[in-house]
Structure 1
Amino acid sequence: MDTIGEQLKKARLEKGLTIEDLQKITKIQRRYLSAIEANDFDAMPSDYYTRTFIRQYAEAVGLNARPLIRRFEGKPDDTQEELPQTKPIRGSRKEKHRKKKKKQPTFKDYLPVTLLSLVVIAIIGTIIYAMRLDIASGPLVPKPEKAVVIGNDSKESTTESSSQPDSTESSEKTKDSSKKKTTDNKFKITSDSIDLVTYSGSNVSTPIKLDFTALEGPVWIGLQQSGTNAIYYQYTLQPGEEISSIVPEDATGIDIIVGASNNLSVKVNDQELAFNKANPTTGKKIITIDFATTTKENE
């Protein structure tokens, strides 16, 4: 069998490499390469460098370095490392999985569910607390001293807390009041856009009554005094439904917020406002009415 040096030299020549070429590839000094080919390992700096240089030489010429290094160390080429003995596994895999499943759950396993439950309880508690505050604060719309009722025949009747006057006198006053409203009430558009229309009213008799009628679809309305952001009345009318509201006596103006403008008819003291005619929209619109001059109905 060829020696280590003979095998390496033979592979180098088959590659067509010279000692100088091999020195450039491996960066090993020429004298050490020649000593390896001559099997003069005593000329090497140490056994560590000898093994390192043999490995680099073999890799450069395409040989497996391990048999050469084992031969240098005096070990036979066919020696195989003893593999560690495997221990037999007791029991089947199914039994192991069953044992894992039977493992008792810990507090960490329940922690996500516990935190989620606490969050849900906190949210529900907040909602209940807010509802109690709303109930304690009273109704959103204060009960007016004068109520307006819409009958099935769409005729309106007013009731006061005081005793009702004679039917003949009431009828005459109603007629006179109706004539006065028709004659005196004047509403003029001062500005008009898609989302805002402003009216200026003059000689508006009080109390000022607003009549709302839903046409072909549901419509939401909200009422607030001009100059404020607090809605004191809100309601959603269904198709064909009618409601009425009395404007507060101290109000110099009123804002009517409409959710679906094309589905609402508005009357002020029985005078209809064509608020959605010039710039019609199917969405939100604000109707602002400025009561410039008002007159008491009973004066």
Structure 2
Amino acid sequence: MRKKTIGEVLRLARISQGLSLEELQRKTDIQLDLLEALETDNFDKLPNLFYTRSFLRKYAWAVELDENIILDAYDSGSMITYEEVDVDEIELSGRRRSNRKKQSFLPLFYFLLFSLSIIAFVSYYVWNYIQTQPINTSEASYSVVTTTTSDSTTEVTSNNQSTTETSVAETSAVTISGEGDTISVVYKTSKETAELQLSVKDTQSWVSVSDTDLAGGVTLAPGNQTATTTISKKTPVTITLGVVKGVKIKIDNQEIDTSKLTGQTGWISLTISPN
């Protein structure tokens, strides 16, 4: 047993999990070159102190390490006593790969199950609402017929405008659940794709959107206030916010309420479902 640097501990923990750097990148949404910088203790390559601590926390979580030990070592500039130092890395990787991978799929399974439950609930609500529409339309028509000719024309126009406004309002909707560091958002729309916009005004935040051209992340600041990408119904995405406060998120010009994200850093699971 001897002391190791933070990067050495992270690398051995990743190998013990049977993860490649590419697999870890997909799991954490951290760029590949930044993961390599963490494993080589090249912390100067990261944007700043906040992002370094955030990435160390996410890395530790992904490989089942105690994030407090990693962060304390980083803050104090000390090394870490690592108990598995005498275990051959190649042998360790081959021996534990199958067991660790079986466990690593559990969070994804629970997330998909939760997402499907939300989609089923929303679909049932929409279907039930549609079934009640003919009754409401019939009552509205009866009300118009019983009025005088001039009033009827006015009420028909008013009802048509009301129906149009209702149709527009029902075309799409945003449902938000959860609180704390992570929330889930379901966006109902009849379109196959949707435009996602992230913007800031007076703050600075690193953001990323998985499975899009923003998966590698981008820093929003007063000099670069907006980032836009397109998402589809086929793939749920995860939005990572380095700093939650001051970041506005819109999907097809509808603002997503992030007030339930109470942490300094936040994650949003976004799913598009049929309207």
Report the TM range for the smaller structure's normalisation.
0.3 to 0.5
Q: Which has the larger radius of gyration?
A: 1
Say which structure is richer in helix: 2
- RCO higher in 1 or 2 (8 Å CA, sep ≥ 6)? 2
**TM-score normalised over the length of structure 2:** 0.35
Scaled by the length of structure 1, the TM-score of the pair is: 0.33
